[in-house]
Amino acid sequence: MKVAIACDHEGAVFPGHFAHAPKFRIYDYEKGRLKLLEERVNPLGSMPDYDEHHRHGISIMNPDFQGEEAPPAHGLPKYQWLRNKVLSDVDVVIAAGACQTSYRFFTSNGVKMLFTDPVEVAALEEYIASDPNSFEEALTQA
C-alpha cells in the first residue's frame, strides 16, 4: 500500500490543507513498516489558496507553473488534478487538514484520509513503526 504524507520544507506534516503542501513523502507500507520511496514536489504548494474563505467565483490558473499543464487554482478540478498528476498511485494520505470537497473527492476514489497534528514526519514514522496495529486500525476506520 502506498502512503503519502503532506510535508512542509522543514520535515513536518504540513500544517494546512494537504493540497497546498509543498511536497509529499511517498512510502510503501508493508508488514508494519514504512519504506520511503520518494519525495514528490507539489506544484499546488506554490499557489495561493483560492478556495480559502469560499471565493468560488475565482477562476485563475497559476501563471508561474512551468509544467505541461497548469493546475486549476480552485475547486474540484484542483483536487482532480492533484490526484491525477501528483498522487495517482497512493492509497492513503496523511495530513493535518483538508476541506470537505477534497476529502469527499479523494475518499470517493478509494483513498483513505488520516489526520494528525503537524508533528515532525520522523516522529510520525517512528509512531507507525512502534505501533503498526494502531495504524492499521486507523486505516480500517478511515
- What's the pTM? 0.85
Task: Give the model confidence (pLDDT) of 49-74 as tens digits.
Answer: 655 544 433 334 444 444 556 777 77
Cα–Cα distance between 83 and 45 in angstroms, integer? 14
- Lowest-pLDDT range, 34-48, 100-114, 122-136? 34-48
Instruction: Give residue for cell 480552485.
Output: 74
Task: Give the model confidence (pLDDT) of 92-122 as tens digits.
Answer: 999 999 999 999 999 999 999 999 999 999 9
Residue spans of the domains in the chain: they are 2-141
CATH architecture of 2-141: 2-Layer Sandwich (3.30)
Residue 142 corresponds to which cell in the numbers above? 478511515
Q: How many residues does the chain have?
A: 142
Q: How many CB atoms lie within 10 A of CB 70?
A: 16
Element (H, E) at 118: none
69, 71, 75, 80 alpha-carbon torsion, rounded to 10°: 60
